[in-house]
Amino acid sequence: MPYNRTGYAPWSLTREAGVESATVDGTIEVPQYIQPVLSTGFVDEKGDWKGVKSSDKDFQFYQKDEAIGNGATFITHLGFDMTGYQDVTIAIKPTNAGNYAITACMGSDGTNRYANLSPLDDASTLRGTRGTASDFDNLLTDSAETLAADVWNILMIKEILSNQKLLQFKITNNSGGNSTVETCFLRSV
């Protein structure tokens, strides 16, 4: 059953010390019941509002690349932001079944900035460390991923690309023939 109790206000020490001119009452009512709270973000050290990220509901950043020749490479969406996201799922729908090389790379068209830095080494393979490793490695370079034709092939990438800014992928068609390839992405917290 909800009830209130009386407590001393922390700002009224002067009044409690007997100074009659203090304008603040020395007691306050303190609610004694449980109330749900919903947190949607916080104010950072610079005073900027930062909302809590939530996973994408639907796939985003759709792209269709037509008539990609065998051995040819194309680059997906011009750098999407993974800041605050842990995992990314890539969906690929080729018209020709077979092997495709997939590499995570720096995304930019020369106008996008990585935080406050520009120019960038566009389409360069992303490098970093994993866990306690002390050497830099390529974060994602899959040289032969077998994909089925005319269906969405769903590939989840856990953690290694978390918080990456300007993320994109280089995909090479090694299926043996021309292929039209559709791609899109889903980010998860």
Three-state helix/strand/coil letters over the chain = CCCEEEEECCCCHHHHCCCCCCCCCCEEEEECCCCCCCCCEEECCCCCEEECCCCCCCCEEEEEEEEECCCCEEECCCCECCCCCCEEEEEEEECCCEEEEEEEEECCCCCCCECCECCCCCCCECEECCCCCCCCEECCEEEEEEECCCCCEEEEECCCCCCCCCEEEEEEEECCCCEEEEEEEEEEC
Query: In a structure prediction context, what are the per-residue pLDDT tens digits for the chain, which is 189 residues long?
Result: 556 666 555 555 555 566 655 555 556 677 777 778 777 888 888 888 888 888 999 999 999 999 999 999 999 987 888 988 999 999 999 999 999 999 999 887 666 777 778 788 888 899 988 777 778 999 999 999 999 999 999 999 999 999 998 899 999 999 999 999 999 999 999
Q: Is residue 172 part of a domain?
A: yes
Q: Is residue 43 part of a domain?
A: no
Q: Is residue 126 part of a domain?
A: yes
Same-domain status, 161 and 105: yes
Same-domain status, 32 and 65: no
**Residue 23: which domain range?**
1-36
Same-domain status, 89 and 141: yes
Same-domain status, 144 and 68: yes
Q: Is residue 45 part of a domain?
A: no
pTM to 2 decimal places = 0.74
**Residue 116: CATH number of its domain:** 2.60.120.680
Count: domains in the chain = 2
